[in-house]
A = this chain, B = another copy of it.
Amino acid sequence: MGIKERKEREQEDLQQKILDAASELFAKDGYESVSMRKIADKIEYSPTTIYLYFKDKNDLLNQICEETFANLIKDWQKIEDKADEPIVSLKKSMQAYVEFGLKYPNHYEVTFTNPIMEFLGESGLPFEGSMGQKAFENLSLQVAKSMEAGQIKQNDVAVVSQLIWAMGHGIVSLLNSHKDFPFVEKDTLIEGSIDMIFDGIKT
């Protein structure tokens, strides 16, 4: 009775194929260029087939965002595994966040810039399974550890976490969306921001 299983596998394959095609279009041509018809063309199915696997375009993009987040979390995990001082890990994580955003500008855009991403479930509470939630929890945890180690002067984990997030997002967002602006050398800006924010935070 492995037939049912095989079919399920085939379904999952196609679902992943759609995700991959959409993700590739994204990376290559940017958000604007991702249309259901183009994705369909790429995988050689009819456009409507996609709707058998995803509720609508938002649902599809959302799942791509989830994959993007998952990759970020993986990067962060590596940093944490090194078990530096909490504040050092936190700083490295922020660096990784910015680099991540600059490396995958189109995925970053749709994940953090568009109001598509659903952080919350229907209950209004943070959605347990969401990668975005996990990522933020991860960041918060690192902030909490740094506070416990007495390396951050404020004592509100949520506030500090959100401020760090905002700073990282601001840099990525500006660098990515105003490519023509005469920005300071990228690394200078990244390091400068991290130093500045951590100067303001550290005990």
Contact = CB atoms under 8 A, between A and B. Distances in A.
Interface of A: 112-115, 117-120, 124, 126, 154, 156, 158-160, 162-163, 165-171, 173-174, 177-184, 188-189, 192-193, 195-201
Given A163-B193, A193-B163, A197-B196, A171 B173 contact: no
Contact of A162 (B118, B177, B184, B197): B184
Given A183-B162, A184-B159, A200-B197, A177 B120 contact: no
- Main secondary structure on chain A at its contact with chain B? helix
Pick the 4 closest A-B CB pairs, nearest first: A170-B170, A200-B200, A166-B170, A199-B200
Given A166-B193, A170-B170, A173-B173, A180 B114 contact: no
Given A120-B181, A154-B192, A197-B200, 19 more contacts: A112-B177, A113-B173, A114-B177, A115-B179, A119-B181, A120-B180, A124-B180, A126-B182, A158-B184, A162-B184, A162-B189, A163-B192, A163-B196, A165-B170, A166-B170, A167-B193, A170-B173, A195-B200, A196-B201
Contacts of A112: 174, 177
A178 B115 contact: yes
27 contacts: A115-B177, A115-B178, A115-B179, A117-B178, A118-B180, A119-B178, A119-B181, A120-B182, A126-B182, A159-B188, A159-B189, A162-B174, A162-B184, A162-B189, A163-B189, A165-B174, A166-B171, A166-B193, A167-B170, A167-B197, A168-B170, A170-B170, A173-B173, A195-B200, A196-B197, A196-B200, A200-B200
